[in-house]
Structure 1
């Protein structure tokens, strides 16, 4: 499988376009024709860079997960306290959703997981494991330092926060308004800080 760091500028434009389409219409909602039209190239050019849609989808997930992991590292170096880190984490989802109701790539793909190729499903699982691991560590530290309080385990709180953020985006899109991820997360934060 291709690695996103080895892509040509033309292939990267295809990945960018596919990512945007996934965030708006899901994996099953677009075709190579849609990508070709958006970029202004011929459909065989898309196939030249990515022989299959499954390969393209896997690269999109791989790059998205990498960028998200980098964002988590930036949060760690920017914020020392667990509550601030969790608020910055919620901000990642809020900034994505603020772009015309776009959803997290892996959240959108997670909704379609049963119909996706294994390489993509595997990438989605990696994304969620990275997020849950990071959140659990942040919450453990916050509980140990006393900046967070709860009778629930760190892993339970991590799962609840991730589900709340992904779910608020879906519900907000379904309603066509409201359910800003940041504002929704503040409800949980108020109960643990």
Structure 2
């Protein structure tokens, strides 16, 4: 029987990033330190600084990874080949999963609450993430309206922003109460988009 291979720098970076993201979503970015990460991962803070010299670097890495996840997900054939209502449902399922299985808040919402205290580089990355997410959802809504399968008044970008804000709020409510509250809010959004205006 062979001994397990030693952890690579990539593994260590990923473990740090994973834990930092979990802490961000459960406590907020300003409520954890490298000391928290070091203790949880049983490593010295210097090891974290080796991979992410400052907390700003870590924060930027977390947001960029989320942006890469968004880009990868929206470009998957299993997403691009769906009808606009099906794409919307697939997107909503991501939020539902956070409420039901992880009891986590919205990634954007968690950082937006602390936006004024975030380093400028993180603020810029968060804006980029929000713009890309809003534009993608707006394109889905616009395609759905053109096909007469999604219904709403106003501009698709405005409706996308409203939907995203509602879903972020639904996750906050689920954290205080339970996932049923989140489900009710999601169902209301769904109902409004299905009914002709």
Taking structure 2 as the reference length, the TM-score comes to 0.87
Q: How does 1:88-167 map to 2 (within 5 A)?
A: 88-167=90-169
Encode CA deviations 1:134-158: one digit per residue, 9 max, x unaligned.
0111111111111112222211211
Helix, strand or coil for the counterpart of 1:99?
Answer: helix
Match of 1:85 in 2: 87
- Summarize the Cα distance change of 1:24–1:78 in structure 2 as closer, same or farther, 3 Å threshold: farther
Contact 1:36-1:46 at 8 Å conserved across structures:
yes
For 2:132 and 2:191, the matched residues in 1 are separated by: 25
| Long gaps (5+) in structure 2 | 1-8
Match of 2:23 in 1: 21
For 1:164 and 1:112, the matched residues in 2 are separated by: 19
Q: Which has the larger radius of gyration?
A: 2
Encode CA deviations 1:94-126: one digit per residue, 9 max, x unaligned.
112333311232220111100000111111111
Helix, strand or coil for the counterpart of 1:192?
Answer: helix
Alignment RMSD, CA only? Answer: 1.7
Contact 2:59-2:122 at 8 Å conserved across structures:
yes
- Summarize the Cα distance change of 1:184–1:78 in structure 2 as closer, same or farther, 3 Å threshold: farther
For 2:113 and 2:180, the matched residues in 1 are separated by: 18
- Summarize the Cα distance change of 1:93–1:191 in structure 2 as closer, same or farther, 3 Å threshold: same
Match of 2:3 in 1: none
- Summarize the Cα distance change of 1:164–1:179 in structure 2 as closer, same or farther, 3 Å threshold: farther
| Long gaps (5+) in structure 1 | 1-6
CA shift, 1:182, in A, is 4.8
Taking structure 1 as the reference length, the TM-score comes to 0.89
Helix, strand or coil for the counterpart of 1:33?
Answer: helix
1:190 matched to 2:191? The reply is yes
For 1:189 and 1:8, the matched residues in 2 are separated by: 41
Contact 1:168-1:184 at 8 Å conserved across structures:
yes
- Summarize the Cα distance change of 1:89–1:182 in structure 2 as closer, same or farther, 3 Å threshold: farther
Encode CA deviations 1:58-90: one digit per residue, 9 max, x unaligned.
0011001111221222353351x2111111111
Contact 2:60-2:122 at 8 Å conserved across structures:
yes
Contact 1:136-1:155 at 8 Å conserved across structures:
yes
Which is worse superposed, 183-192 or 46-55?
183-192
Question: How many residues in Structure 1 have an aligned counterpart in Structure 2?
Answer: 185
Helix, strand or coil for the counterpart of 1:149?
Answer: coil
